[in-house]
Structures are given as structure tokens and as C-alpha cells.
Amino acid sequence: MEETLLVVNCGSSSLKLALFDGEHRKLASALAERINQKDAFARISGDQETITLPHHASHEQALRVLVSAFRERQLMTSSLSAIGHRVVHGGENFRQSVRIDDGVISAIEKCSELAPLHNPVNLSGIHATCKLFPHTPQIAVFDTAFHQTLPRHAFMYAVPSVWYQDWSVRRYGFHGISHGFIACEAARVLEKPLEATSVISAHLGNGCSITAIRDGASADTSMGMTPMEGLVMGTRSGDIDPGLFDYLQGKGVNAEELHQALNRKSGLLGLSGETNDMRSLCKLAESGHDSSRIAIDVFCFRLARYIGAMMASLKELDALVFTGGIGENSDLVRETTLSHLSLLGFEVSTERNRTHGRSSQHRINSDGSRFPVLVIPTNEELVIAREASRLASPA
Ligand code: AMP
């Protein structure tokens, strides 16, 4: 029978769907936005029409509308063979993807305490597809699973150890679906077995994280207990001095306000005072907007510092890899970042860096660079589709 796979990615106010065939080729995708708000709407990629969703449409209602729209447009002609869900937090329970059953659902529920903004909405998606497709295998693919190989010295915080024992306070890491994909792709490009491949993977999108991958496994990563730690991001501060909390409390900023400010009003947006969108910032900086230039400079410097820090987890380095919307597209960010790292032997080729995207070359380092530097597009949906297909088939 022909295989069709559905990939589901639920955000707090969005639902992304993608359909793949048995050869893991993408057939269609759709995005619903402003879910649970009065003006919810959706679009199918390649289609001009905006689909109006019911007022305060839930994830389940949006899913029903989009599946009907796929069917009407003949994009989903056979029954689904598996459904793959992106689940943000698997805690220490999940080291890899799993087929969903009641036990898995309650384990994901338990992890909701660690990711209150993400896991409950991921579960809404799972409950919705279980209702709509009760006989189709459902697979959970976790953003934390790839980082379950972190050694203790990399995942423990230097805080009272009972916080870990009693409250699970530790570093988990995120973007694991992307970093795992980059490890495999880098191994393919470098023509090495995955188990012998060591790379630093910089995933730079609206959220940003960097991972040291040693012999194919995650050895250190910049995000921690939550996705707020580490690099400067679109609207998140990344690392911050914890002494600031007390100081700002003295200024009348309460914990919730602080959380909102560090999560939604900081990063590129906070620094520039204009936007969290790197493409717009690059244009603004070019036209002489000083705080946009500062935002880009802080972003790149912090990233360069982290690239240096990731070296502590590696015995050798086969390549530094840039990925994500910014990593794949911004030659300015790549060049500025690498300009801080000449002491470590990284050297960019201006020409290869600028023409990347117009050629199929991954490599952007100069011939004299001590380490290769690659640009590789990530594809998290493809990973989820592959995992869904693998785990749905009987062994
Ligand atoms: P993602 O979350 O992976 O979709 O990445 C989104 C980020 O990539 C946004 O900050 C975009 O502005 C940025 N981006 C996309 N294209 C470009 C580009 N050509 N130059 C600079 N940034 C870009």
C-alpha cells in the first residue's frame, strides 16, 4: 500500500502540518495561526487562499479543517500510515522517539512541569490526531532526546544537588531534532561514518542553540533546563547574570515581568529596539541604524564565544556547521562570527561565504582554514517523517 505520513508540530498559537510520501518526499504543508484567538486562520503552502477558521479554533478544530482541505485539493489521497509529532520535552524518560500509547502520554504529561509552554500544546495535537485517526500509529519525536547523551559534567548546574534530585533541575538542551539531523548530514558530506564524526552544530533561527557533537552524539549544548539559556536569540536574552534578578526586584520588576522580558522582549528585539528578524536587522544596519548593528555584533560575539566553549567537549573537530534561517542565509552573521575566531584557526572565504546559496557547495572556509566550515540546511520535518515511518513499521 502507498505510504503517506503526517507530521504535526503544535505551538501555543500555531499548528504546522506536513505530508510526506513513502519515499519521504514532501507532498504538502499547511500552517494555522492565531489558534485559540478570535481571528484564527490557516494557509496551505502554494495556495493563495486564506482559510478562515472558527472563532477561537482549537488545535483539534484547525487540524480537522486542514485535513479536509488536504483531501479536497487531492493532496492526501490515501489513508495515513503514521503520524509523527514534535514533542519539546521528554525529560530523562526519552532517549529516542517512541510509538505513543497511554503510558507515553502520561510520561509526556509529567514532563509538562518542565516545559509548561510547550508540552501541553504538543499533547493537544496528539489528542486531536488520536481522535481523528484512532487506528493510525502515532509517534513522538522529542527535541530533548538527542541530548540525553550529555555527560554529567555538562548537564549538572553548580547549584544545590538536591534541586536535581528533588526537582529535576539540570540542563536538558533543545533543538535536538535539528542537531541530530545536522550530525547525519555532516557525516554524509564529509564521507565519514556518523560514529566517527565530530562537529559543532550552530542552529540559528528565531531560537538559537549550539551543540558539540562528539562521535555522532551530543556532548554539550547551549540551551539548558529551558530554551532560555545560551546564545542571544530573536527575543530571548540567552545567558544572563543571575544577580540581575535580585537587582531588578529592587527596582519593582516581579518574577513574571522578568520572565516575560527575558523571553519575549530581549535578544535581537531588545537590543535593536526594532525587530527580532535578522534579515530586517541586516538591512537596518546597512542603512546606518546603530542599535541594529549593535544587536548583530552582540549576537555574533556571543556565538563566537560559544563556539570556543564547545571545543572543550571535543577530541577533534571535523567541521563547524551553520544551520537554521539565520545560519543558512546570513553571510554577514557567519563572517562576523568567524572573524572572532582566527586564533582557533577558523578562516572564512569571503567569496565562498557570499556565493553560498547560489551554489550547491556547503563549504565556506578558506583553503588555509584549520577546520572546515559548512552551511547545511536543516530539515526537522523530514526527521519526524522518517522516525514516524521507522517506528510504525513492524520490526
Ligand atoms: P527560522 O526560525 O529557522 O525560520 O529562522 C528565522 C530567522 O532567519 C529570522 O530571524 C529571519 O530573519 C532569518 N533569515 C531568513 N532569511 C534570512 C536572510 N536572507 N538573511 C538574514 N536572516 C535571514
Q: Answer whether 28's CB lies under 8 Å from 104's CB.
A: no
Q: Separation of 393 CA from ligand 1 center, angstroms?
A: 36
Instruction: Determine, yes or no, domain membership for 32.
Output: yes
**137 and 204 share one domain:** no
Please tell me the predicted confidence (pLDDT) of residue 361: 85
Phi, psi at residue 204, to the nearest 5°?
-120, 95
Residue 271 alpha carbon to ligand 1 centre in Å: 17
Q: Name the residue with the closest Cα to ligand 1, atom 21.
A: 279
**Catalytic site includes residue 143:** yes
Counting ligand 1 atoms within 8 A of each CB, the residue from 232, 279, 376, 378 with the most, and so the one to mutate, is 279
Q: How far is the CA of 280 from the centre of ligand 1 (A)?
A: 9
Residues 100 and 240 occupy one common structural domain = no
Q: Is residue 17 part of a domain?
A: yes
Give long-range contacts, CB 8 A cutoff, 24+ apart: 109-112. none
Alpha helices in the chain (DSSP H): 59-72, 102-111, 119-132, 152-155, 161-167, 176-190, 243-250, 255-264, 267-272, 278-286, 290-310, 324-329, 331-339, 350-355, 380-392
Contact call for residues 142 and 135 (beta carbons, < 8 A): no
Residue 57 beta carbon below 6 angstroms from any ligand 1 atom: no
Beta bridge partners of 212: 200, 220
Mutate to test the pocket of ligand 1, among 329, 336, 380 (most ligand atoms within 8 A of CB): 329
Residues 371 and 234 in one domain: yes
* DSSP assignment string, 250-266: HTT--HHHHHHHHHHS-
User: Is 38 assigned a ligand-binding role in the annotation?
Assistant: no
Distance separating alpha carbons of residues 380 and 389, to the nearest angstrom: 14
pLDDT 10s digit of each residue in the chain, 395 long?
578 999 999 998 999 999 999 999 999 999 999 999 999 999 999 898 999 999 999 999 999 999 999 999 999 888 899 999 999 999 999 999 999 999 999 999 999 999 998 999 999 999 999 999 999 999 999 999 999 999 999 999 999 999 999 999 999 999 999 999 999 999 999 999 999 999 999 999 999 999 999 999 999 999 999 999 999 999 999 999 999 999 999 999 999 999 999 999 999 999 999 999 999 999 999 999 999 999 999 999 999 999 999 999 999 999 999 999 999 999 999 999 999 999 999 999 999 999 876 566 899 999 999 999 999 999 999 999 999 999 998 76
Could you tell me if the CB of 277 is within 6 A of ligand 1?
A: yes
Annotated binding residue 277? yes
324 lines ligand 1 (CB under 6 A): yes
For residue 234, the ligand 1 atom closest to its alpha carbon is 10
- Ligand 1 atom nearest to 207, measured from its CA: 2
Is ligand 1 within 6 A of the CB of residue 275?
no
The angle formed by the CA atoms of residues 317, 323 and 324, to the nearest 5 degrees, is: 155
DSSP 8-state symbol, 146: G
Helix (H) or strand (E) holding 151: none
**Could you tell me if 30 and 95 lie in one domain?**
yes
The CA distance from 220 to 212, in Å, is 5
133 and 46 assigned to the same domain: yes
* Whether 348 and 239 share a structural domain: yes
Tell me the residue range of the domain where 268 lies.
Answer: 191-375
Contact by Cβ (8 Å): 90, 111: yes
Neighbours of 202 (CB within 10 A): 28
CB 113 within 8 A of CB 226: no
In a domain, residue 122? The reply is: yes
What distance in Å separates the CA atoms of residue 284 and residue 90, rounded to the nearest whole number?
39
Tell whether 257 is in a known binding site: no
> 88 C-alpha vs ligand 1 centroid, how far in Å?
21
**Is 327 within any annotated ligand binding site?**
yes
- Residue 124 one-letter amino acid: S
Residues 214 and 134 in one domain: no
Assigned domain for 161 exists: no
Cβ–ligand 1 distance for 326 under 6 Å, the answer yes
Q: What is the pLDDT of residue 100?
A: 98
Q: Is 197 in the pocket of ligand 1 (CB under 6 A)?
A: no
DSSP assignment string, 124-145? HHHHHHHHH-TTS-EEEEESSG
379 alpha carbon to ligand 1 midpoint, in Å? 15
- Cα distances (Å, whole numbers) of residue 52 to 42, 46, 76: 7, 17, 20
Q: Is residue 290 part of a domain?
A: yes
The answer to whether residues 43 and 133 belong to one domain is yes
The answer to whether the annotation marks 214 as part of a ligand binding site is: no
CA gyration radius for the chain?
Answer: 21
Handedness of CA 143, 144, 149, 150 (dihedral sign): positive
| Number of domains composing the chain | 2
Calculate how far, in angstroms, residue 330's C-alpha sits from the geometric centre of ligand 1.
8
Is 172 domain-assigned?
A: no
pTM for the full model? 0.96
Same domain, 104 and 200: no
φ/ψ of 27, rounded to 5, equals -95, -35
| 57: CATH | 3.30.420.40
Task: Name the active-site residue from 143, 220, 318, 331.
Answer: 143
What pLDDT score was predicted for residue 393?
82
DSSP 179-218: HHHHHHHHHHHHT--GGG--EEEEEESSSEEEEEEETTEE
Last residue of a domain, one of 142, 157, 179: 142
Q: Are residues 134 and 249 in the same domain?
A: no
φ and ψ at 207, to 5 degrees?
A: -95, 145
> Can you read off the three cell numbers belonging to residue 70?
488536504
The answer to whether the CB of 267 is under 6 A from ligand 1 is no
37 with 132, same domain: the answer is yes
Kindly state whether residue 390 falls inside one of the protein's structural domains.
no
Amino acid at 110: K
Same domain membership, residue 208 and residue 312:
yes
* Nearest protein Cα to ligand 1, atom 15: 325
In a domain, 178, yes or no: no
